[in-house]
Structure 1
Amino acid sequence: MKRRSLIAAAGAVAAAPALASCSSGGSKTGNVGNAGKDLAPWPTYVPFDGPQPDAPGDDSVGIQPLYLNYPAQLAQAVAEAPGDGSEVTALVVSYEAPPKPLAENSFWQEIDKALNIKLNVIVVPDPEYAQKMTTLMASGGDLPDIVMFTNLNLPRRAEFIQRGCADISDLVGGDAVKQYPGIANIPTYAWQGMGRIGGRIYGVPLERPMPANSMFVNRTRLDEVKAPLDWNHDQYLSAMRDLSTGRRWGTGWYKTLFGGLSGITYHALSAGAPNGWAVQGGAFVHTSTTPQFEQALTVMRELTSAATHYPDSLTASSTDMQNNFYNGTVASLPNGFGALALSNLLKIGDRFQLGLARPYSPQATTWRSTGTFGFATFKKAAPERLKMLLRVVNHLSSPFGTREYELINYGIEGRHFTKENGVVTTTDLYKSENSSILPIRYIGTAPTVLHLPGFAGVARAAHDWEKAVMPKSLANPQTGLQSATQSSKGAQLDQILGDGIAAITFGRKPVSSWKETVAQWKAAGGDQLAEELAKEYQTAS
């Protein structure tokens, strides 16, 4: 793998640096907000006319189409290879072990051939991502051709992108996107979730389903302790206690970037808390200031008091905790809905049946995601170079039901998978050569559908879960909005809340101390952030 010096000195950079100039050569940052700007039009949505699902989706509430069988006939998504034979370097996050070198990796070789480029991937492991991206943004050095950003609230990210990355508004805005059918097939909600910066479009979103961070469960063990599918608060706590025996635990959490705990989301939505923010009379009200959020903290404290949680939750990385879930050490784990993927199901194998936990109260407000996992930005370059890079992303975004999707997601037929009677069966080689280990799925990706080869029961259960919970789901009104305070102080504000969550969860402070945490958050910039978001919200479109 190619690991450039631009990310080698990550430990030397403070958490919120004053950014140096980068590839644009500029030193001044413009206003990243969209209020009062001439807004670039969102790309025209041109959906792919693909195979008919076994059960329909509903875009209005975030229910995905279900495919139990693989399509018998595949379409051709692109007429010719998108690249020009040149080297393309992409920096992406990874949640897996490093890929095998190109010379030993038949999947990588075939991807290079299909794209007609020499693809170099700078793989940044998830635990190192925030620190190394901060280094990259402060380095002032040359950028990779493609830089992938997750949805993490990195300090001054918008200013960096505005200054150092290519404005692609004229290449993809409105009907211009029709030159790239795979990108045009990305739903408008994903573009809105990515958002504009200063009224302009700087990236291509990596679409994800509308369900947000969800509680994945070991359904086999829950059935053993007779936990119902639809449960209440007491039944939930009872099940977690029953599952916590010996060296196995009911609940697994991991520390989020700024000190919080991943489990809080499930309990906040179960209590009926707003999804991030609520708009009341034109004003923005943060979920942390609501009594429902305080109720969620009480549940977190109850779980630790009952010793149902994995004991190293504050030190384990998200990758480590996912492995603990896949091997059965913990019976429940919050994760992004994109974790419902074939590569992860193969890690579970036949150990247990994967499921999704339904909220445990009737007032639940299931939270919708931003509709993205992140987005791909581009180094400033000549128009022809940018168009070539967009063709590469377009190819990698080819939809389900196409030959291109098949290669990207399953590899080479006969080597990485076989097909018979509408079922794709992956080989042992697929476990070490796929689009997660060589993380091209974080450069460009097709809109997701519910199709899990060999795990039709999991796919059907997930569809049933979506039908049960998504009609009452809430979007976050902050999605796609820009704020100077969010960009400059967002990490600091998150840290205040995260520290408060952890202190209460592990008994260092009482639940009543949360009001002090909220007051500190407000004074540090939370109130100012709310005002800026309200102003942006009035002009967003």
Structure 2
Amino acid sequence: MTTGMSRRRFLGLSTAVAAGAAATSLTGCGSSAAGKGEAASAKVKLPSYAPFTKVKPDLAANAKGLSAGFLSYPEELVRSVTRTPGDGSKVTMLTEIWVQPPLSKGSNDHWRQVDKALGVELTAILGTDPGYEEKFPAIVAAGDLPDLMWIPPNQGLQHIAQLLEGKMADLTEYVSGDAVKDYPNLANMTPAHWKTAVVNGRIWGAPSPYPALGQVYGGNPEIWQKADGFSARSTEEFLDKCKEVTGGNVWALEPIYVNAVSVLSQCFGGPNKWARAKDGSVSYHMESEEFLEALNFVVKLKKAGVFYPGDPKMADAYVKMAQGRIGACVYANPAGARKDTRINDPALGAEILIPFDADGHKANAHLHAFGTIGYTAIKKGSEKRVRMLLDVLNYLAAPFGTKEREFLEFGTEGTDFTYDKDGFPQRTKQGKQQVEGLYSGLTTATTAPFVLQPASFPGDEGVQDVRDIYAVEKKLLATAVPNATIGHYSDAYTERFGRMQTESNDLVNDIVAGRRKISEWKPFWQEWGPKGLDRMKEEFRKSLEAAGE
């Protein structure tokens, strides 16, 4: 799965999904779901974590989110699936792809081989980015849902509880606790992954794991070399270094101010999206004092002239960093930062900024807001069919180093891929046409936990990249804090968050640009209390309380 999808927002789906849900009369069958929305995600036993041990990484993973690291491609691949999972029936899947679509099934030998390996006749409905936000509600409105349906993080979709309870299979009894061990590749996922598939106290799908750590600043080491590296021990030192590297045709930071405040709020010990206090109350990170302090600091950076003078939504910041015009950009996660800089310049490996203690605060790092990019739900059916489809998903979640994973990702040796000089598979022209797009959709549906491996990083420094990013992850995880509401549902959130986020982001941009005053920040959040924020916080609080968390 590419980490390049990070900046995409799934929130645009919310209004359309609400319309689709209404069109299929899900609100009628979902009255109980609506009633449970405020106390969603009651106690549920998450699937047991049973790491896949048949392939041993050079650098070990852990349940906290540290990625496994491989310094070479396994010499001998192993099997993770002992039998063909399917029963020969037709299976439809709705998922999303992040690359060029593959050749159609009629012209795609690899697709037909996937059918044979899975033991089903797979019809994959491949949404695109952008485009999925239109395809998803259209399919919901049509009424005849696919057997497998990828759902982006549930907090961004309205009425998702009704959709799940009305049309999809409750998977709790199949995967809760040790039951998941019937599906070993799914058991390889951590509880943090599974929490994103919990709605109203039930488990509704197989997760699509994503790197555990969230946004970071990645810097061009050639630019920061003159300032003794992209690191700091205080806000004063960070500001001084930004001034030092800014000059001529170079600016220290990209002008995406919202990302700057969010990442730098970690230096002030800011919450990760939603926080829970000792008294059980819930708060949103942008209303916190730590976020306000970070906003003040970004205003100071702006006045110092260290931001590139461009659009705060600029799309080519990564390219400008590779060109040596921008010193640092915000990336989805540490591995994504190193990979994306290598893509733009194979000789350029991003240096990751470790959050520093700012103005008397203890810094923290943020785990990824959702932990996954979604989950794939299964349409209601007999126990036999649900278990068969779980077996199919179990195959798709085959880990790195297995024969199943190599086949899904690269196809057949000699036609779809060849091994490079370091022993890693590389797709041929046919592989790019037939395998790449289909694999993108399959891995969006579900996949194994992310691993670090040299072939992910373009250029000749892949082994060092793995070591570097693994070390960065260890440092960040030492102080990482989670989003308190993962696995919990709020109707008010799905209804109102999109507008709240747009308005708050616009206000950040206006304050940093000098068009509005920072004194308007706290009143903005006071005004949003009765407009939906108070409901969000109370619904999340009740859900957390019901879950005994």
Counterpart residue identity of residue 212, structure 2: M
2:281 aligned partner: 283
5 Å matches for 1:80-479?
80-102=83-105, 107-130=110-133, 132-134=135-137, 136-137=139-140, 139=141, 141-151=143-153, 153-192=156-195, 194-223=196-225, 226-230=228-232, 232-237=234-239, 250-252=252-254, 261-276=258-273, 277-305=275-303, 306=305, 308-309=307-308, 311-314=310-313, 316=315, 331-337=327-333, 340=336, 347-348=343-344, 350-361=346-357, 363-369=362-368, 370-419=370-419, 423-424=423-424, 426-427=426-427, 429=429, 433-434=435-436, 438-453=440-455, 455-479=462-486
Q: CA 1:427–1:200 in 2, change beyond 3 Å: closer, same or farther?
A: closer
Distance 2:264 2:501 in 1: 18
Counterpart residue identity of residue 200, structure 1: R
Distance 2:295 2:62 in 1: 33
SS at match of 1:147: strand
Instruction: List gaps (5 residues or longer) in structure 1.
Output: 1-9, 255-259
Q: CA 1:405–1:134 in 2, change beyond 3 Å: closer, same or farther?
A: same
Counterpart residue identity of residue 330, structure 2: P
1:191 Cα offset (Å):
1.0
Distance 2:243 2:432 in 1: 34
- Indicate if the aligned counterparts of 2:38 and 2:539 stay in contact, CA closer than 8 A: no
Distance 1:265 1:78 in 2: 42
SS at match of 1:439: helix
SS at match of 1:216: strand
Number of residue pairs aligned between Structure 1 and Structure 2: 521
Instruction: List gaps (5 residues or longer) in structure 2.
Output: 1-11
Counterpart residue identity of residue 125, structure 2: I
1:51 aligned to 51, 55, 59, which one? Answer: 55
- Indicate if the aligned counterparts of 1:155 and 1:491 stay in contact, CA closer than 8 A: no
SS at match of 1:78: coil
1:154 Cα offset (Å):
2.5
1:397 Cα offset (Å):
0.4
Distance 1:114 1:510 in 2: 60
1:523 aligned partner: 530
Distance 1:341 1:396 in 2: 26
SS at match of 1:271: coil
Q: CA 1:66–1:229 in 2, change beyond 3 Å: closer, same or farther?
A: farther
* Superposed CA offset, 1:20-49 (max 9, x none): 153879544323448498744322332211
- Indicate if the aligned counterparts of 2:199 and 2:487 stay in contact, CA closer than 8 A: no
Q: CA 1:516–1:337 in 2, change beyond 3 Å: closer, same or farther?
A: same
Distance 2:280 2:210 in 1: 29
1:375 Cα offset (Å):
0.9
Distance 2:106 2:138 in 1: 30
Moved more, 389-398 or 96-105: 96-105
2:8 aligned partner: none
Q: CA 1:13–1:40 in 2, change beyond 3 Å: closer, same or farther?
A: closer
Counterpart residue identity of residue 365, structure 1: N
* Superposed CA offset, 1:197-221 (max 9, x none): 2221111111223212333343344
Counterpart residue identity of residue 155, structure 1: Q
1:481 Cα offset (Å):
1.4
- Indicate if the aligned counterparts of 2:60 and 2:69 stay in contact, CA closer than 8 A: yes
- Indicate if the aligned counterparts of 1:32 and 1:198 stay in contact, CA closer than 8 A: yes
* Superposed CA offset, 1:309-360 (max 9, x none): 47233364xxx66676677775533333386399857734524113432224
* Superposed CA offset, 1:67-96 (max 9, x none): 212222222111233234444332223333
- Indicate if the aligned counterparts of 1:57 and 1:63 stay in contact, CA closer than 8 A: yes
SS at match of 2:509: helix
1:458 Cα offset (Å):
1.4
**Normalising by the residue count of structure 1, what TM-score does the alignment of the two structures yield?**
0.83
* Superposed CA offset, 1:153-177 (max 9, x none): 2233333333332222232223332
- Indicate if the aligned counterparts of 2:335 and 2:469 stay in contact, CA closer than 8 A: no
5 Å matches for 1:27-38?
27-29=29-31, 30=33, 31-33=35-37, 35=39
Distance 1:504 1:401 in 2: 49
Counterpart residue identity of residue 295, structure 1: E
1:500 aligned partner: 507
Moved more, 439-448 or 402-411: 402-411
Q: CA 1:94–1:325 in 2, change beyond 3 Å: closer, same or farther?
A: farther
SS at match of 1:485: helix
Distance 1:213 1:464 in 2: 16
Distance 1:107 1:135 in 2: 29
Q: CA 1:356–1:423 in 2, change beyond 3 Å: closer, same or farther?
A: farther
Distance 1:310 1:133 in 2: 38
SS at match of 1:20: helix
1:65 aligned partner: 68
Higher helix residue share? 2
Distance 2:36 2:116 in 1: 39
Moved more, 506-515 or 239-248: 239-248
Backbone CA RMSD of aligned residues? 3.6
SS at match of 1:56: coil
**Normalising by the residue count of structure 2, what TM-score does the alignment of the two structures yield?**
0.82
- Indicate if the aligned counterparts of 2:41 and 2:543 stay in contact, CA closer than 8 A: no
Distance 1:406 1:327 in 2: 35
- Indicate if the aligned counterparts of 1:98 and 1:437 stay in contact, CA closer than 8 A: no
Counterpart residue identity of residue 269, structure 1: Q
- Indicate if the aligned counterparts of 1:251 and 1:310 stay in contact, CA closer than 8 A: no
1:78 aligned partner: 81
1:126 Cα offset (Å):
3.1
- Indicate if the aligned counterparts of 1:53 and 1:65 stay in contact, CA closer than 8 A: yes
* Superposed CA offset, 1:244-274 (max 9, x none): 67887654466xxxxx944432122122111
Distance 1:119 1:247 in 2: 53
Moved more, 99-108 or 321-330: 321-330
